[in-house]
Amino acid sequence: MGSILISVVEGNPHLRALLGWHLQEAGYKVKQCENIQQGKNSVTNLQPTLVIIDSDLPDGDGLELCSWLRQQGDYLVLILSARNHEKDIVAGLNAGADDYLAKPFGMKEFIARIEALVRRVKVNVAPLFLDYSELKIDLVQRRVQVQEHFIELTPQEFSLLYVLAQAGGTALSRSELLRRAWPDAIDNPRTIDTHVLSLRKKIESNPRQPYLIQTVRNVGYRLNPQLLTG
């Protein structure tokens, strides 16, 4: 259970801290977020198993975050809401939530709902450390090692490298890389080329003949499949 990460996206700081404390006491890892933007960042960078979303957040409707999550992958979602009418519950479930808990609620029921969700689905827990022999990516500390040397990356460079690693050697287009690495960026997909060039200068032994990050003509970029297989 200790390897399961839960993001709590709750605007009320007191309730957010209380939920986080009870989840940690139950053995879960917790990332606390106060708004939609932080919630998206936690999903993009940390890949939590379960996301708890308050329906009323400071920067928008929590159901919007729930709908966005469904486009990102297979995440467990629990909606917390002061709206307890049937139409509100149906709207939450239709937005993609796996469960809906009306406020106020007791902490025992809250933890029981979490445990039921985790049991319901066979959870594929995201790794916390990627080891490809000469390339190592620490997803918790957000650090990268190349041939045992630590490399300083910008947040944008780290996100780009992580997305390439997640793709498992599959080539991704510039638009897809932009969407996955920086989902809220409003930018030209060609910006990816600039970041790839910068990343290559930092992690490739010979940036002019890159081995780790390969260009796939008419597609985009990929992490070298040979690296991933050993």
Q: What pLDDT score does 123 carry?
A: 46
Q: Which amino acid is at 118?
A: V
Q: What pLDDT score does 74 carry?
A: 77
CA 222 to chain centre: 20
CA distance 60 to 187: 23
What is the maximum alpha-carbon separation in the chain?
61
Interacting residues of 163 by C-beta distance below 8 A, sequence separation 6+ = 172, 177, 180, 181
Q: Which two tokens stand for residue 12?
A: 């009320």
Torsional sign, CA 19, 25, 31, 32? positive
Q: What pLDDT score does 2 carry?
A: 47
Is 31 within 8 Å of 54 (Cβ atoms)? no
DSSP letters, 154-210, are -HHHHHHHHHHHHTTT--EEHHHHHHHH-TT----TTHHHHHHHHHHHHH-SSTTS-
Q: What pLDDT score does 121 carry?
A: 57
Low-confidence ranges of the chain (pLDDT < 50): 1-2, 122-123
Q: Tens digit of pLDDT for each residue in 75-129?
A: 899 999 988 888 889 998 988 899 999 999 999 999 999 998 888 654 455 566 7
Q: Is the pTM of this model over 0.75?
A: no
Q: Compute the mean pLDDT over every residue in the chain, rounded to the nearest whole number.
A: 85
Q: What pLDDT score does 201 carry?
A: 93
Q: What pLDDT score does 126 carry?
A: 54
Is 50 within 8 Å of 135 (Cβ atoms)? no
Is 196 within 8 Å of 207 (Cβ atoms)? no
What structural domains and CATH numbers belong to the chain? 5-120 (3.40.50.2300), 129-228 (1.10.10.10)
Q: Which amino acid is at 29?
A: K
Alpha helices in the chain (DSSP H): 13-25, 36-46, 62-72, 86-94, 107-120, 155-166, 174-181, 191-203, 225-228
CA distance 175 to 118: 33
CA distance 41 to 47: 9
